[in-house]
């Protein structure tokens, strides 16, 4: 049996010429394909519009899946780390944030693994008590690398240094060339997490659990890269393996 790997969904908020796609729940197709490729069974979880249902749905969903992927998406609402929004912050979806925070906590309580991507690493850090740069260019003068690349998203744009001996290093080695499409980033790291990769300018590029193998998060988008750069595919094989599969096609 393939392990069931849940992906949190987003909503299409722009008008669509096809009426049934207006405000449709969705998740990245390339993550779905990567999970299938490495032996998992993807399942998309839409967030509820009803805030009161977030915690109860999260608790119920956890019984259904074996591992959780947190994809990229909109900015994280700074309300969840006790800040007001600055001018440079982008679109946030409060209901999505609230649901994902509840889902992260429920997943970890159930001792099930998480793989977080881009926005995913950010909401993960917030859920566990950390905070974010709402906008790297305006809030972190040391962030000198262009983290919102102009190149097409499947192509790498800067290097990351990976901590030797970390779980991420076992998957990718101590250096990787990655893509970069973000303007928010981890600032103060949650107490239960450790940083295991950084960009040359010091921006956090990966985190892991301090005391277990339940959490791995990366700031880049391996789902956009794995077909051209198969060395990124082990990140998806890893969540399938941690969820009880063998991580093979």
Which are the catalytic amino acids? Answer: 118, 221, 223
For residue 112, the tally of other CB atoms under 10 A from its CB is: 19
Cα–Cα distance measured from residue 247 to residue 249, given in angstroms and rounded to the nearest whole number: 7
| Residue found under tokens 């093979």 | 248
Q: Are strands 204-209 and 158-162 parallel, antiparallel or unpaired?
A: unpaired
Nearest by Cα to 77 from 107, 119, 22, 15: 119
Cα–Cα distance measured from residue 185 to residue 190, given in angstroms and rounded to the nearest whole number: 13
Cα–Cα distance measured from residue 163 to residue 173, given in angstroms and rounded to the nearest whole number: 9
The pair of three-digit structure tokens given for residue 201, joined into one six-digit string: 């300018």
For 218, phi and psi rounded to 5 degrees? Answer: -130, 150
Q: Are strands 41-45 and 4-8 parallel, antiparallel or unpaired?
A: parallel
Q: Do 142 and 98 form a contact (C-beta atoms < 8 A)?
A: no
Q: Do 72 and 221 form a contact (C-beta atoms < 8 A)?
A: yes
Cα–Cα distance measured from residue 104 to residue 44, given in angstroms and rounded to the nearest whole number: 15
For residue 216, the tally of other CB atoms under 10 A from its CB is: 25
């Amino acid at each position: 049996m393939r392990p069931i790997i849940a992906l949190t969904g987003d909503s299409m908020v722009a008008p669509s010429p096809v009426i049934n796609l207006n405000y449709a729940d969705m998740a990245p197709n390339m993550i779905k394909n990567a999970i299938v490729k490495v032996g998992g069974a993807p399942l998309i979880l839409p967030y509820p519009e009803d805030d009161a249902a977030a915690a109860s749905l999260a608790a119920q969903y956890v019984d259904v899946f074996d591992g959780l992927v947190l994809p990229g998406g909109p900015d994280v609402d700074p309300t969840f780390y006790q800040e007001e929004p600055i001018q440079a912050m982008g679109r946030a979806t409060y209901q999505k944030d609230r649901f994902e925070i509840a889902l992260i906590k429920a997943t970890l309580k159930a001792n099930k693994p998480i793989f977080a991507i881009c926005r995913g690493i950010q909401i993960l850090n917030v859920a566990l008590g950390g905070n974010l740069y709402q906008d790297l260019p305006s809030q972190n003068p040391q962030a000198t690398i262009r983290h919102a690349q102009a190149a097409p998203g499947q192509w790498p744009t800067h290097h990351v240094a990976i901590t030797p001996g970390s779980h991420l290093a076992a998957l990718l080695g101590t250096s990787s060339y990655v893509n970069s499409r973000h303007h928010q980033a981890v600032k103060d790291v949650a107490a239960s997490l450790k940083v295991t990769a950084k960009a040359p300018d010091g921006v956090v590029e990966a985190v892991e659990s301090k005391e277990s193998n339940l959490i791995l998060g990366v700031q880049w988008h391996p789902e956009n890269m794995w077909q051209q750069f198969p060395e990124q595919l082990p990140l998806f094989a890893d969540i399938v393996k941690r969820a009880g599969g063998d991580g093979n096609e």
